[in-house]
Amino acid sequence: MIIDGRSLETKWWGPGPEVAPTLVLLHEGLGCVTLWRDFPEALVAATDCGVFAYSRFGYGGSDPVTLPRPVTYMHDEALSILPHVLDAAGVRRGILLGHSDGGSIAAIYAGAVHDARVLGVVMLAAHFFVEDLNVAAIGAIRRSYEEGDLRARLARYHRDVEVAFRGWNDSWLDPRFRDFDITDQVASIRVPILALQGAEDPYGSDEQLRVLERAARCDVETRVIDGAQHSPHLEARQATLDAIVPFVRNVLLKATA
């Protein structure tokens, strides 16, 4: 896919948008298309929806970006890139499903754009504000990248691993990023929300869910997933699907009523 003259890595699973609703996957801060692993196939099998994913610029096989990324990178993605991606993919109606940074991007988009194609939002381990434990965990992963084997492991998935890692990590550890807070955007979301978080998530406490519940003005369901850390869709697959599948079906049923 070409957006603004640059190449994005994309992938479809299951039926296309002309046949069925689409679940649009927005990856985490170090993710990409490949790192969703077999979760897209599980979603297709359980929901009969099509699934579309793309690697944001600087990730996976997509074109790189210039560093440093601005601390507004999630807002920039949601407001300047995602609308063009949805258009280019031909998405007609569906649900945004974002993990970590991707969940925050989904919230920003749904709250600001009010796109009639977006019928609901699913967020896995999304960030609505910055916590001390969040910053501490991101500082620790920098040490693993610089001193351990994380760089080599990530290099298997990213065309430019330095851009992928530094673009995310340096932004989060920039003191200016402590002002990141998207509760205003959350309050503007008009479609149903499902938010899941691992019970042992090192990147955020369940206060993220409590803030969402207080801020939202739409139907909201939250759930803590036992046995999961920051990636409940990989660490507690069945429990995560057990939450997502009925939500998707209910949202689509109401949309066609």
Residue 99: per-residue pLDDT: 98
Residue 15: per-residue pLDDT: 97
CATH of the domain at 159: 3.40.50.1820
The answer, yes or no, to whether residue 19 has pLDDT greater than 80, is yes
What's the rounded mean pLDDT across residues 56-77?
97
List the 220-225 sheet strands across, edge first: 10-13, 50-54, 22-26, 94-99, 118-124, 193-198, 220-225
What's the rounded mean pLDDT across residues 196-210?
95
Q: pLDDT band at residue 86, thresholds of 50, 70 and 90? A: very high
Alpha-carbon span 140 to 217, nearest angstrom: 36
Alpha-carbon span 82 to 77, nearest angstrom: 6
What's the rounded mean pLDDT across residues 49-58?
98
The range of the structural domain enclosing residue 177 comes to 2-256
Tokens representing 161?
């691993």
pTM as predicted = 0.97
Tokens representing 236?
């507690």
What's the rounded mean pLDDT across residues 28-34?
98
Q: What is the domain count for the chain?
A: 1
User: How many CA atoms lie less than 13 Å away from 99 in the CB half-sphere?
Assistant: 27
Beta bridge partners of 25: 53, 97
Residue 255: per-residue pLDDT: 85
DSSP labels for the chain? -EETTEE--EEEESS-TTTS-EEEEE--TT--SGGGTTHHHHHHHHH--EEEEEPPTTSTTSPP-PSSPPTTHHHHIIIIIHHHHHHHHT--SEEEEEETHHHHHHHHHHHHH--TTEEEEEEES--SB--HHHHHHHHHHHHHHHHSSHHHHHTTT-SSHHHHHHHHHHHHHSGGGGG-B-HHHHHT--S-EEEEEETT-TT--THHHHHHHHH--S-EEEEEETT-SS-HHHHSHHHHHHHHHHHHHHHHHHHH-
What's the rounded mean pLDDT across residues 218-244?
97
> What percent of the chain stands above pLDDT 90?
97
The answer, yes or no, to whether residue 43 has pLDDT greater than 90, is yes
Residue 65: per-residue pLDDT: 96
Residue 4: per-residue pLDDT: 87
Tokens representing 187?
């309050």
The answer, yes or no, to whether residue 257 has pLDDT greater than 80, is no
Beta bridge partners of 193: 121, 220
